[in-house]
């Protein structure tokens, strides 16, 4: 899956090989890492 617009700080993650529970677990880990670095979207 290609990123529609080049931007090195963003990434697209293909979760299509995983079950819903696995996706939720991985997403929680990614979110926790982002929160610890204060890298969340703030409108």
Alpha helices in 1-43 (DSSP H): 20-36
Task: Label residue 4 by pLDDT band (50, 70, 90).
Answer: low
d(CA 28, CA 33): 9
pLDDT of residue 31 exceeding 80: yes
pLDDT in tens, 9-30: 677 889 999 999 999 999 999 8
């Amino acid at each position: 899956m290609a990123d529609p617009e080049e931007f090195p700080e963003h990434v697209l993650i293909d979760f299509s090989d995983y079950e819903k529970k696995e996706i939720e677990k991985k997403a929680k880990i990614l979110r926790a890492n982002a929160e610890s670095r204060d890298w969340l979207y703030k409108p």
